[in-house]
Structures are given as structure tokens and as C-alpha cells.
Amino acid sequence: MSTQGATSPPTILVLNSGSSSLKFGLFTHAAADEALLLEGSAQGIGRSDGSLRIASPDGRVLVQQEHVLQSQTDALQKLCAILAQQHHAQPAAVGHRVVHGGPHLRAHRRLTPDVRRRLQEAVHFAPLHIPPALALIDEAQKIFGGAQHFACFDTAFHATLPPRAAQLALPRRYADAGVIRYGFHGLSYESLVTQLGANLPPRAVFAHLGNGSSVCALRDGRSVDTSMGMTPTGGVPMGTRSGDLDPGVLLYLMRVEGLDADALETLLNRHSGLAGYADGESDMQVLEQRAAAGDANASLALDAFATAVRKTIGAYAALLGGIDLLVFTGGIGEHSAEIRQRICEGLSFLGLVEGDAEGDAAGNVRALHTEEEKQIARHCRALLQCDDVQCDDA
């Protein structure tokens, strides 16, 4: 792959990994913001139905390959080869989405050996998320050895939480050890704040609804409360995650069923939430189809999910003294009109009015596309332009 041109803005590659997927975007700088050059995703990594898709900003498919991805490493290597085929230079920076940085990494920063060490030490805060993120970082640093690498944390946006929201009702020593509410989906929420700009009113609630879901209360663009807690398992029920539970339920499972920490983690993160209600099914489109066909368990899953989100929005209305703007985002929040309607039922007393199908800004209930990768690119560009001391403190 060729080196970055001397006169053109440096390109930034953003990697956003999931358990069996990898989304990515290649960005340059134009018109005072990040401009997308390529985007794509590797799906079904490690499965027989794997695929790799790369498209131009206008949606034109440039690469479509099937059954080719054995691992994240394989996906990264193929991505590197395709970037070279498309005549794109070695990126100057690679930005990594990291779900949880633990108690000591609450701001986006350059990936140094010390940051890598601190991430390793924080594994117990997110054992399902941090290990694969570290593996991807290590491989990306090998493949894109000439680039600077940056970690962008989903928890960073919620560093503004006041103590009443951040500290849990436990003895103080646990807070001192990092057992606090961190909040997640921060990069998604940051992107909405950036998109709305001057049109963001003082009191807003954002709901990122997908396989993982959370709700966030914002005052003057800053997070003041959010539904997820110390881990992404808390809050509203999700695709396969339980959301909030009576702590006594966990004690029951330990005492009566003899579940240990690993078994509890698997149960709460892999087999609960919508999947728990609906006999293992967590796909929202499938659940909507099953509910329409009269499936009682699917209907229960939809009702419980929408009700939990609605209750959280209502609580945040009380916290903020009203809601000027409610924004839905994420795969479900953006694309499921039925779920948005179910959630908004009963909220008319708050004066919430949905905009039209074209996203008419006159409505104060809107669905917006989240731009996590673009937001990561923005942070990386800023960190590239600062000196080492500033970057360490960013």
C-alpha cells in the first residue's frame, strides 16, 4: 500500500468490531468535517455464511465476497488488500471503538503501551467486549504498522454524569474501586449531538435501540443520566441481555441453581432479554412478524421492550423537567416505526410530536442515523493534530 500523499489530507481508517462482525470506514478531511471515502462491513466472521461488503459513499457496491472470513485477522487482511486495490494510501491513523475503558480511561486517546496495559487490567469490567477489542487492536497495529492508533471509548461521553447518577447505592469503597455507572453508546450519542448542532435544545432524550439498547438524558448536550450501568448488560431489556434485574434474582440463581459467575454472565448476556421472552428469538423484524401472526411470546417481548424504554423516557422527563426533543437511533430505533409508535404511546402528555417520514424538524420526536464511525474519525483527526502531552490528556 502506498504512503499518504504530502498535500492531501491524511486518511483515517475506523474499525468498529462486534462479536462476529467488523464495520469500517475510510475518511478524509473536507469542508471542515470528515468525508467518507469507503465504508463496509464483514459479517458472519467464523461462520459459513460470512461475507465482506465494501461500498462507495453513494452506496455503489465495490466489493461483495461470500464465505471468506475465518477471523477478525482474516477480515482485516482482506480489507488491507482491497484498500490497496482501490489505490488508497496507507491510513495515517486507525481509530478503534472500545466499549469500555474501565475507571482510568474515560477520554479518547492515543494507543500507547500504557493504554494497552490499562485496557488489559480493565477486562473484568467488560469481559465479553475488551478481549476481542484488544485482539483486533493488536492485529491492526501489525497490519497498519505505519499508522498511529487511537482508542475511542463509548464511556467517554458519560464522564459528565453527576455523582447522583454515577455512584451506585453501595459502600463508598466500591465506587473508589471503579464500581460505578459508566454508560455506553457514547459515540453514537456524541454523533447525534454533532449532527443536531445548534438545533439541539436544552432538554433532550436519546434512545439508541438495537441488539444493545440504552437511553440517555441530556442537558445542554451533556449526559446527565443513562440507562446502562457499570456494564452494557444493565438498563432496558435488549436482544439477548437481561437489562436491570432485582439483585435477589441473581442470589436465587446462585443459591438454588448453583450458577457461578461465568454461568450467570452467559445467561444474562446471551440467553435473556427479548430472546428470553420469545423462546430464543432476538431479531426485531422476526419478532414483529411473529407478533403480527399472533405469537403471544413475541408480542410480550415487543410490549416489554417498548414499555421499558417508555418508562425510562418518562423518568428522564421528570429528571429534566420536560423533554424538548426525543431522538431514536440504532438499527431498531431508526428503522422500526412500530417500536417507535409503541414507545411513544402514552407520552403525548409530554407534548411529544413525531416529525413526518422525511424527518421534518418541526416534530420533536425524530429518528436519526447514528454516525459512530464518522465520530471516531473526528476524534482521531483532533488527536492527530495535537502534541503528545495534549493527546495523553485528551
DSSP 145-161: TTSEEEEEETTGGGGG-
d(CA 175, CA 170): 8
Q: Which residues pair with 34 in a beta bridge?
A: 29
Whether pLDDT at 1 is above 80? no
pLDDT tops 50 at residue 82: yes
Supply the pTM of this predicted model: 0.93
In the chain, % of residues over pLDDT 70:
94
Structural domains present in the chain: 12-153 (3.30.420.40), 199-367 (3.30.420.40)
Q: What angle do CA 110, 128, 369 make, to 5 degrees?
A: 65
pLDDT at 389: 42
Calculate mean pLDDT across residues 223-236.
Answer: 97
51 with 27: CB under 8 angstroms? Answer: no
What single letter denotes the amino acid at residue 380? Answer: C
Higher pLDDT: 9 or 2? It is 9
Q: Is the pLDDT of residue 306 over 70?
A: yes
| Cα angle, residue 115 at apex, residues 110 and 119 outer, rounded to 5° | 125
- Name which residue leads in pLDDT, 118 or 6: 118
Whole-number Cα distances in Å, 196 to 202, 208, 327: 12, 15, 10
Q: With 80 as the cut, is the pLDDT of residue 20 above it?
A: no
Helices (H) and strands (E) counted in the chain, each on its own, are 15, 13
Tell me the backbone φ, ψ of residue 389, rounded to 5 degrees: -65, -45
The answer to whether 352 and 344 have CB atoms below 8 angstroms apart is: yes
Site of grid cell 466500591: 174
**DSSP secondary structure letter of residue 385:** T
What pLDDT, on the 0 to 100 scale, is given for residue 328?
A: 98
DSSP state of 348: G
pLDDT score of 356: 61
241: Cβ contacts below 8 Å, ≥ 6 apart:
212, 232, 233, 268, 269, 272, 273
Whether the per-residue pLDDT at 355 is higher than 80: the answer is: no
Compute the half-sphere exposure of residue 19: CA atoms within 13 Å on the CB side of its CA: 7
CA distances from 88 to 8, 37, 148 (A): 12, 9, 17
Report d(CA 31, CA 20) in Å as an integer: 35
Torsion of CA 291, 294, 296, 300, to 10 degrees: 30
Average pLDDT, the chain: 92
Amino acid type, 218: L
Q: What is the largest CA-CA distance in the chain?
A: 67
Confidence of residue 74 (pLDDT cuts 50, 70, 90): confident
How many angstroms separate the CA atoms of 53 and 241, rounded? 28
- Give the model's pLDDT for residue 86: 82
Distance between CA 20 and CA 264 in Å, rounded? 22
8 Å CB contact between 352 and 323: yes
pLDDT at 22 over 50: yes
Cell of 205: 432524550
- For 45-62, the pLDDT digits (tens) are 888 888 999 999 999 999
Catalytic positions, please? 154
